[in-house]
Amino acid sequence: MQTIGTNTVVKMIAAAAARIRANEKDLSALDSATGDGDHGTTICRVMDAAETAAKGDTSGKITELLNKVGWDVMSVDGGSTSPLLGSFFIGLSEGAGSSAELDAKATAAMFEAGVAGLRQQTKAQPGDKTMIDALVPAVEALRAAANGGADVTAALRQAADAATRGAQATKEMVAKFGRARNLGDRTRGHADPGATSISHIFTAFAEAVGS
């Protein structure tokens, strides 16, 4: 696929919500090892809200659709996940601009703005065992692929692979944020649930665009 438009963005968000629902129990089990065990339930609420907002949008504009998704996600009772992902989607909206169709480079720019939006809500850096550890490499891979001439489908596949690797790498990290930080070295050996959720979301994005 050379470009994505509003219909594809809706499809991507719906696919991500479905994949998160399918992995709800596993995500909560991951969270039980280092947190309070509710991440699966929380991220499901967040992505359900995102899907509902996306499917209900009538603007026909990527930027307005994503802005609505972001603010609806912000309103969900989802602990830290709601403001983080809400800010991510609002950032995507700002990055999308007024374009009706986004090629790979424009898609990369959109996701870079999404990362910038999310990072306004957290001081976490790569290596701190958070969703940043999957999100940053995913978007960096997306940009590299786009700059290398890949189309949107191939670029998102690269992003999904990088997100998965990033999530897996959190197994060897010590948590520095959230309730998990109180466990110190005992958080080693467990993947971060937030990073794992991001890997699922990007995998779903890639599959939706590629199908």
Report the C-alpha gap between 83 and 64 in whole angstroms: 18
| Cβ(118)–Cβ(130) below 8 Å | no
At 12-30, the pLDDT tens digits run 999 999 999 999 999 998 8
The CATH number of residue 50's host domain is 1.25.40.340
Is residue 101 included in any domain, yes or no? Answer: yes
Q: Which residues on adjacent β-strands are paired with residue 4?
A: 102
Is residue 1 included in any domain, yes or no? Answer: no
At 145-162, the pLDDT tens digits run 999 999 999 999 999 999
Helix, coil or strand: residue 23: coil
Q: Is residue 206 pLDDT above 70, yes or no?
A: yes
Q: Which residues on adjacent β-strands are paired with residue 102?
A: 4
Q: Is residue 184 pLDDT above 70, yes or no?
A: no
Q: Is residue 177 pLDDT above 80, yes or no?
A: no
pLDDT for the residue 175: 78
| Cβ(135)–Cβ(198) below 8 Å | yes
Q: Which residues on adjacent β-strands are paired with residue 19?
A: none
pLDDT for the residue 24: 94
Domain that holds residue 51: 6-210
Report the C-alpha gap between 12 and 185 in whole angstroms: 36
Kindly state the average pLDDT of the residues 168-194.
Answer: 78
Number of domains in the chain: 1
pLDDT for the residue 207: 97
Q: How many CB atoms are closer than 10 A to CB 18?
A: 16
| Cβ(210)–Cβ(151) below 8 Å | no
Please tell me the least confidently modeled range out of 23-37, 82-96, 104-118. Answer: 23-37
| Confidence class for position 41, pLDDT limits 50, 70, 90 | very high
Q: What is the pTM of this model?
A: 0.94
Phi, psi dihedral angles at 102 (to 5 degrees): -115, 125
Please tell me the least confidently modeled range out of 6-20, 60-74, 126-140, 171-185. Answer: 171-185
Q: Is residue 166 pLDDT above 90, yes or no?
A: yes
The residue among 46, 128, 145 whose CA lies nearest residue 88 is 46
